[in-house]
Each structure stands twice: as C-alpha cells, then as structure tokens.
Amino acid sequence: MGTMLQSKGLSPGERPDLYSVTHPDIVTQINRAYVEAGSELICTNTFGTNAKKLEGSGYSVRDIVFAATACARKACEGTHSRVMLDIGPIGEMLVPAGTLEFEEAYSVFREIVVAGEEAGADLILFETMTDLYEVKAGVLAAKENTNLPVLASMTFEENGRTFTGCCIESMVATLEGLGVDGLGINCSLGPVEVFPLARRMCEVASLPVFIKANAGLPDPGSGVYNISAQQFCEEMKEYKALGVAAIGGCCGTTPDYVRLLAASFRGVVIQQKVSVRKSVVCSAIKAVTVDRVTVIGENINPTGKKRLKEALRNGNMDYLLEQAIAQEKAGAKVLDVNVGLPEIDEVSMMVSAIKAIQSVSNLPLQIDSTRVDVIEAGLRVYNGKPIVNSVNGEQAVLDQLLPICKKYGAAVVGLTLDEKGIPTSAEERFIIAEKIVNEAAKHGLTREDVYIDCLTLTASAQQEDVKETLDALKMVKERLGVRTVLGVSNISFGLPNRQQINTSFLTLALAHGLDMPIINPLSEPMMASIASFNVLYNYDEQAKEYLECYAGTTPPVENQDTEMSLQDAVLQGLKKPAAMAARRALKTLKPEDIVNGMLIPALDIVGNDFEKGTCYLPQLLQSANAAVEAFDVLKTHLEALGQEDVKKDKILVATVKGDIHDIGKNIVKTILANYGYQVIDLGRDRSPEQIVKAAVEHRVRLVGLSALMTTTLGAMKETILALREAGIACEVMVGGAVLTPEYAAFIGADYYAKDAKASVDIAKKVLG
C-alpha cells in the first residue's frame, strides 16, 4: 500500500492512512488493482491507524477505519475477495522493556478492532509485529470484543528472531494457545531469506501458515525494490512444497507481483499439514519442549521460606529476581511462581512478580496459586505460554479453571485428588488423572498440555504410600501418555538428612516416568541425580552435558548469601543490588574509576552478548536500567561533595521530518545514556532546521538520526546537508530499518548504526 500510494503522489512526510479520507478514490483504485490481479484477501489502508499515531492529526481511529474499510469493500464489489482490517504495531514498547502498559495497549487495539467490525471488515490481520507481548494484547482485544477471525504475523530477522528476541517456536505456541486462526511471517526479508523461517513455522504450527515476503530492499533514492515481479514469483515457487495456506506480498509488491503469483499458484492444492504435537511451554524468547527431564525451580514459593515471605511483605521484588536468576543459572528450565501470603494483595503481587521476572529471565513460568483470580490475572499479563499449577479432580475446580487455561493458551497441572482428598492407592489416583485428562479435552486442551501430578506424600507419616505414588506415575505415563509432575521435596518432611531422601526419591521417580520434577535446582545432589539419569537412560548422548557440568567445574552452591558485585548486578539487570554495590564501591574507589572500571565493562559484556545473540533486547534494556541506578548513586555522591557529574560528552538524537516512529531512537537514547553520555532527545518528526538549531545550541560533536520509512529518507539526507552547510563540527550517525551502510554513505552520513550497541561503539570512537 505504501509503495502504491507513493506512486500515486504521496509526499514524503504525509500520512498514508489519512489518504482513505482525503483521497478515497485513489485508495479504492489501489485496492481494486490488487483484487483484479488475483488477491482473495486485501488489506485496509490502516496499518498505522491507532490512537497513539493519530494524535494531533485531526482524525479519530473510527474516522480512518470506516473510510479505509469502505474503500476496500467497494474494491471487492462483485468478487469473492474479502477485506482484512490491517493493524500494525502501536509504535511504543510495552513494559518492562518500554513504558506502555499491557492494558493500555489492549485498549488501543480494542478501539481499532471494534471499529473494524462495525465498518464491515471480514477478518483482522495483525502484521509486521516484533513484540509477542504486543501481539497478545491485540489478539485478546480482538477475541474479547469482536467475532471476526484473527490472523497474526510477525517480522523476523535472518537469525530467526524478531527485533525483541521472540523466536518462531514461542510465537506459534503462544498464539495458537490464544486461539488465532492463522499464523504468518511478513516484511523485512525477501522470499529466499524467509523460506527457512517459513519451513520452521510450518514444522511446528498446527494452524494455517501464510507468508508475505518483501520484494527485497528498496533503493532509497528511487524507491524501486531490487527483486522484480518475475524473480519474486520464481523464488516463491519453492513454497508450494511447504504446505503454506496462503501467500502474498509485503513491501514493494505491486499488483504485478500478485498477478504472477496468482497465475503460478492457481490450481495448487494446499498440502495437509501433519504436525507432530509436542508439550511446549515458553516465554517470548525461549521455548521449552518437555521431551526429557525438565526441572521446575521451586524457590519462588513462600512455603517454609522466611526471607521470601519478608520480601513479599515488603514488596522487595529484587529478592525474587535474584532467586529467578540463580535458579536459571543452576539449570532450571521452568520457574514456579507462588506469591501466596494471606496478608498481601496476591493478585497485584502476582502481576508484578511475573512482569519483573520476565524482564530478567528467559525461562517459562509456572503460575502457582490456589486462587482463580490470581491465576487469571497472572495469565493475562504473562508473555508466552505458561503452566498453571493447578487443577484437581473436583468437578467445580475443573469447570472453573479449565476454560481460563484454554482462553489464555496455558498448559495445566492436574493433581490426583478430589472432594474425598488424596487416594491412597495408585489405581484410584490414576482414575482421577484420567478424569482430568478427559475433562481437559472437553474444553479443547490436548493431552500434550496436561501434566499430571500424582502427589508426593511424606515418607515419615505415610511410608506405605510412597510406592503408590511411584506406581501411579508409571500408570499415568504408560496408559494416558501425558507428562508428569511431582513436588519432590515433600517426601522428606519430618526426617533428618532430607537431601538424601529427596535425591533417592527423585531417582526412583525419574525411573518410573517423572518428566517435570519441582525441586531446588541449587541442590547439587538433586541436579547431579538428573544429570546421571540422563546419561544412564541415554538421553545425554556421549555424556556431553554431564561432562560439561562436572569436568573441572564448581557445582552450584545452595543458599549462597553473598553481596552481589556491581558487574553481576548490571549483567543480571538488578536495580537495587546495582545501587547497593555502587555505594559499597564508593568507600574505596573514585566515581570515575567505578564508571570506567566497573560500569562500562559490565555494559560492554551485555552489549557483546547482544551482538552474539546470546542475550536479547529486553535483557539489554534491563542491564542499562540497572546501570542507571548505579550512575544515580555516583551522581548523588558527587553533588554532595559539590563536584560535577561524571557524564561524558553530549549526543543529539532525533527522528527526522515526517517520521513518527521512534522506538529505535528511544532504545539508542537509553543505551547511550547508560554509558554516561549526555543525550539530548529532540523527539520524532523533527525538521532539518530544528536539528541544526539544537546542534548549534548544545555544541554537540555527534548527531544521531533515525528513520523507519523509505518516504522519510529524503528528510534524513536534507538534515545531513543542512548540518554541513551550517558548518557545525559534528559527525553524524544514522539508523533505521530501511537504511543500509551503502545508503548511509550515499547521503553523507559518517556512520551507519545497525543497532543500539553499534551506536555506543560509534560514540566511543567519536567521543571517547
């Protein structure tokens, strides 16, 4: 649509979506051209239509949606083509990586989808999304407020991850769970680059998959994309064997592209997808397939934990985060989160805990509570596909909780107890397990998403029942074919040397079919037992993992309680520990030595991990925010001494004229500021005159310019030219999705910054 509008006279800086009101005939002509070329589904001209982006435009969301839908419907008259309400990203990052709250994002999307259904759209399409959390807000808004089918598409880089680090497996698991009707990949890449990603999606998705690749990359000078219609169609032929359900084109694909695609694919029968269903839970960044022993870390649960209870009462989230990080490092694959104390607001605490833990840990979470309202609140704000702990054989509990698990796409733990309590015999527990599995199926939950807990009873009080638990495990595993869970440490209550009993019981349980032990992963004997089991049962081929853990390394130490170093606090993204470590460091070091010797090296490590793809944007920002806390301590210290701040040179950043997208620029600003640079942020849609004036006023030596749309690259070139003509002794770095190193050089920029970390490297080179 953007490409076509430019060819029809859309000027640089003009808003494409406003054309539906100001030039409806042009938009209708474009829609009709695609219909006549063979498009069975067409998009409304609403990609950038939301309350945030329309602010100050003089138009409401309803105005634009109704006008754009009318254009699309008119274009489809007399045909079987259908209209998709096209919804792109809001343009702001969600908490915890940004400042936009989840429920606010939900409200933004609700306004769009409600208007779209009223205007007559046939389907809803969320596309070009990079943040899984944002997609979830949109899908919930659509599902809860309309009756329209929902398609969801994300844009991936060649490494198989989105800008925020979401992987294909997490996207599929989460969105299939939320009940979308189709999944796709669009934008950023051409057909050749998208193909391996499409293959991955087809392998793991059970829903229809659609693909909308770009026509390559545009020449920023002419706007012409570098893959012709003929080449595009030729490269798309390979997709016929994948089993995709629909194909189309994204940026640069004119009706000529669609016409050739339609002719090429006419008569092709969609291959029936045969996907192997797996037990998968995930965060946005990490998908965990439960196909071998999968440890659930038990340490974020106040039962018997005095320090955790105290932290929950005081709202000390940092203690929870430390527990999360320690368990992840020790080898946990899922983290149980239970914040149940009678004297606190458990709903609010669960929401806060989930958001905070997901900001520092990539692991999937198990939401653990006896209260339905707490579970639902946690499920709503969770980013990914979690586990719910738990339901049981009571019909009332099943009727209440299973629909909630289905709505939010969660896996569920079923406890083998009912109104009569915990049965003593294995056979009776199996009967309850079978009931839970069958009831889950009635609510649309497959066996892969039901985990049965046969319940660990204390050996000190019910010694004869220990073997019944093990027998029940084996029966459930062999007869029902579902995954199994056990809280292992319950076995040893009331006995001395509990770790010995726990470890022995764990080994026996694994041999009887236990998949997901809930244990303390900082217990070295317990983790060693699992590592040994994996070797002995041939899950760990050639003992590679065992050797990696135990060949000359120090095992994790349980209940470590040492003061965290400043470097560790920054690396782990912990704000309060970073501030405390900075205060301790000030007792022996100068502020500038702390900055250059501790803070900057720590940020460099995180930045290098980001470049290597071993940490992702949310973690990068959390580490940056932890560094802010330390910088603030140093600043306060210097102010008390009457000395100047330790900040370095000034850097001016802005999004150029006509471009209202500033996520990338805001991330760059955050990272640069946390390296100690003074960042002057002019905001978005800034003219060359405004940028030149600010550069003179602040006497900056480095200017950073951002642009997302090809239509605003001309403004970037004009700004650089204006800076040169003004004789300002500064260097210019540029960045944005549509830029390349070659074009950066072409428009006269000194540096091309491919991401936020690159901007820091440039700043160091220019400013020191």
DSSP state of 395: H
* Alpha-carbon separation of residue 135 from 174, 175, 554 (angstroms): 10, 8, 42
Superfamily of domain 650-767: Cobalamin-binding domain (3.40.50.280)
Reference 635, options 674, 603, 681; nearest CA is 674
Whether 633 and 583 have beta carbons less than 8 Å apart is answered as: yes
Q: Average pLDDT, stretch 699-720?
A: 87
Q: Is residue 557 pLDDT above 60, yes or no?
A: no
Q: Is residue 423 pLDDT above 80, yes or no?
A: yes
Share of the chain above pLDDT 70, in %: 97
Whether 103 and 61 have beta carbons less than 8 Å apart is answered as: no
- Split at pLDDT 50, 70, 90, the class of 674 is confident
Q: What is the dihedral of CA 374, 380, 386, 387, to 10 degrees?
A: 30
| Local structure of 663: helix, strand or coil | helix
pTM above 0.85, yes or no: yes
146 phi and psi, to 5 degrees? -140, 170
In this structure, the number of other CB atoms found within 10 A of the CB of residue 586 comes to 17
In this structure, the number of other CB atoms found within 10 A of the CB of residue 396 comes to 9
- Split at pLDDT 50, 70, 90, the class of 560 is very low
Class in CATH terms, 2-265: alpha beta
Least confident of 220-224, 251-255, 387-391, 467-471: 220-224
Q: Average pLDDT, stretch 214-225?
A: 78
Q: Based on the number of CB atoms within 10 Å of its own CB, is 55 exposed (0-12), middle (13-18) or buried (19 or more)? A: exposed
Q: At CA 96, angle to CA 93 and CA 97, rounded to 5?
A: 45
| Local structure of 356: helix, strand or coil | helix
* Alpha-carbon separation of residue 144 from 147, 148, 376, 407, 408 (angstroms): 8, 10, 15, 10, 12
- Split at pLDDT 50, 70, 90, the class of 116 is very high
Which stretches does DSSP call E strand in 530-677? Answer: 650-655
Reference 707, options 667, 671, 659; nearest CA is 659
* CA-CA-CA-CA torsion sign (48, 49, 51, 54): positive
Residues in the chain: 768
Q: What is the pLDDT of residue 618?
A: 82
Average pLDDT, the chain: 92
Q: Is residue 643 pLDDT above 80, yes or no?
A: no
Q: What is the pLDDT of residue 613?
A: 81
Q: Average pLDDT, stretch 317-336?
A: 96
The CATH 1.10.1240.10 portion of the chain extends over: 566-640
What would the two tokens of residue 755 be? 């991401």
Least confident of 101-115, 272-286, 422-436: 272-286
The CATH 3.40.50.280 portion of the chain extends over: 650-767
Q: What is the pLDDT of residue 275?
A: 65
Compute the radius of gyration of the chain from its Cα atoms: 28
Beta bridge partners of 78: none
Q: Is residue 56 pLDDT above 50, yes or no?
A: yes
Q: Is residue 645 pLDDT above 70, yes or no?
A: no
CATH topology for 566-640 is 1.10.1240
CA 484: distance to chain centroid? 27
Whether 577 and 318 have beta carbons less than 8 Å apart is answered as: yes
Q: Average pLDDT, stretch 611-622?
A: 83
Contacts of 458 (CB under 8 A, 6+ apart): 490, 491, 492, 493, 494
Peptide bond into 96 cis (omega under 30): yes
Location of structure tokens 């104390």: 341
The CATH 3.20.20.330 portion of the chain extends over: 2-265
CATH code, 288-550: 3.20.20.20
